[in-house]
Chain A
Amino acid sequence: MIESKLEAAVGMSRKWDAREAGREVARNTIKQLSRPPNFFLLFSTIHYKKYGGFQEFLDGVWDVLPKGTPLVGGTVVGFLNNYGCYTRGTSALAVSYPNMDIAVGYGRKTKSSPEYASNEYARMIDYKLKSSRYPYNFLLNLISGPELFNLPGMGYKKIIKSKKSANLGIFFAEIMQKIGKKGMPRDDEILKNLTKKMPDYSSLSGVLLDDFKFLDNYQFLNNDVLTGKLVGLGMKTDLSFDVNTTHCMKETGINLEVTKIAYNGWVIKEINNKPAWPEFLRLLDWNEDIILDESKLMERMMYCPLGFKRDGKVYPTITGIVVLGDSMVTAVRTKVGDKAAILNINGKLLVESVKINLEKYQDFKPEFGLFSSCITRLITLGREIYSLRDILLDYFNDKPFLDIYVAGEGTYSSREKRLAYSDMSFNSAIFGSKNNSKI
């Protein structure tokens, strides 16, 4: 029976000092296990950059963690676990189970060459696990997140009205993306390529970031702190698991077509053959004055994402995260001819999406759960995020779970051959046994 063989634990630390926090999160996690872990997932908010640095943080973890334990993780906006919801601190999940083979890997050049990055990563994981005899395959993919440009003469502005400055900004962004210094994470390209290279691996993905400033982010791989990489964990096991993505967005009935793009599809220049930003506001019946307060731009845009249709399903993405003249930057790439619906969401539906997600696992006896959720859900719900935790506590009882808040997320089901990536979604990977089944 699984129960006697599998041990899983989640731990955390709220200490400010990086080294002490690293020691405490490792200690609090592995003290719950009676055997060394097969793997250790580690996530933290960006605060340790100022309080000792991330190498010091990771060194603190290794002061406690058994040498050679496969470790992956990175920086996130926040996390939610059995203990609560936090936008400062660190949390880890560790599992010990004899019927499991683990490999960790990385891919470089995610921003300039996502195909290269995902190929390198896939080769690494595949090679290390090729002799494994276990039937079920899982990947946890963590991708270096978006890093805003400090545009010459414009800084980190989110609304650039001058069309000349906007075009200069787009040109600068394209150059910086090509040389891999800054820019968009290109997670869609990475994930699509991974499903081709490793179609038999179901996966959960998350795009790492800082505290929503999009200035920098870090990845953890064993003893190293990395930047600009794809890192992850591959698993082959006899443990049952499944993955699921939900969002609960509602279509408003307002539809549009992307008719001109720039910056590899991250900038929408025209909608319905008209300048994108004014046309988008017209469709929403919003006065431009509503948006002039740059501090509120992202919060307002979160409530009206665009839903792009793929494989018969609608996947939301936030648009207008930066306004460049009459163009708007979108979090997921588009192409000319893409049709989208303007979607709507409220707090109640954000909470509902968790309940609906868990319905897939009702005949499951969970042993541990991993989740990746969009940062916009955390920002929108604020303190009400505790109601999501209550739903998860109710489902898991005393079994450990960890939900990381990221800037782009998704799942791939090898059984359904379905890749789901979007914004504002809730994504799960729950491991355990099906009720009445023997493993």
Chain B
Amino acid sequence: MQNDPIALVLDDLLKLDDILACMVARRNMISVMPSGDGFKSEVHQIWDIIHRAMDDVFGVIGAYSQAGLGEMDFRLQDYEVLFYVFPDTETALVAIVPALANKGLIEVEMENARREILKIMGAQDKARGITVPA
């Protein structure tokens, strides 16, 4: 959705050279994508296999997120896929980066994006709470 504030956060993340794709996702579902043209073209040819691997990883996230699982990542061919799990949920901020990328620098901005998305989600939950009749 064009005005989805979470999509705008993802747009910002996608502008970084080393972020080839990013999304908010859970098993079998991508909840929010960046608002523009989608992922960078480099990812298209490997997307199918990465997507399948992601779903398997979400199985592990689903099993352990309540136990405090916060982060996962895997390397597939020349790419790394990073998962920043939202606490006590089965949803994660996911990014695909080149394996040669400087992960330390990317991690800082992934964490900033995660914090911003959590704030937005909190505000959305609160707004829903206000509109729900007593």
Chain A residues within 8 Å of B, Cβ to Cβ: 14, 16, 77-78, 84-88, 211-212, 295, 299, 378-383, 385-386
| Shortest Cβ distance from residue B87 to the other chain A in the assembled complex, whole angstroms | 14
Q: Is there contact, CB below 8 Å, between B100 and A378? A: no
Q: Is there contact, CB below 8 Å, between B15 and A16? A: yes
Query: Which residues of chain B from 100 to 124 have any CB-CB distance to chain A below 8 Å in the complex?
Result: 100, 102-112, 115
Interface size of B in residues (CB-CB distance below 8 Å): 17
Q: Which residues of A contact B106 (CB under 8 A)?
A: 87
Residue of A nearest to B110 (CB): A383
| Shortest Cβ distance from residue B108 to the other chain A in the assembled complex, whole angstroms | 5
Q: Is there contact, CB below 8 Å, between B102 and A379? A: yes
Q: How far is the CA of A310 from the CA of B109 in the complex (A)?
A: 37
| Shortest Cβ distance from residue A430 to the other chain B in the assembled complex, whole angstroms | 24
Q: Is there contact, CB below 8 Å, between B108 and A212? A: no
- Please name the 6 residue pairs, one residue from A and one from B, whose CB atoms are nearest each other, closest first: A379-B104, A382-B107, A383-B111, A295-B100, A87-B105, A383-B107
Q: Is there contact, CB below 8 Å, between B109 and A378? A: no
Q: Which residues of A contact B107 (CB under 8 A)?
A: 382-383
Q: Is there contact, CB below 8 Å, between A211 and B109? A: no
Q: Is there contact, CB below 8 Å, between A88 and B109? A: yes
| Shortest Cβ distance from residue B42 to the other chain A in the assembled complex, whole angstroms | 16
Q: What are 12 A-B pairs at a CB distance below 8 A?
A: A14-B12, A16-B15, A86-B108, A211-B102, A295-B100, A378-B104, A379-B102, A382-B103, A383-B108, A383-B110, A385-B108, A386-B111
Q: Which residues of A contact B105 (CB under 8 A)?
A: 77-78, 87, 211-212, 378-379
Q: Which residues of A contact B16 (CB under 8 A)?
A: 88
Q: Which residues of A contact B57 (CB under 8 A)?
A: none
Q: Is there contact, CB below 8 Å, between A380 and B109? A: no
Q: How far is the CA of A88 from the CA of B109 in the complex (A)?
A: 8
| Shortest Cβ distance from residue B6 to the other chain A in the assembled complex, whole angstroms | 16
B85-109 CB mask vs A (1 if < 8 Å, else 0) is 0000000000000011011111111
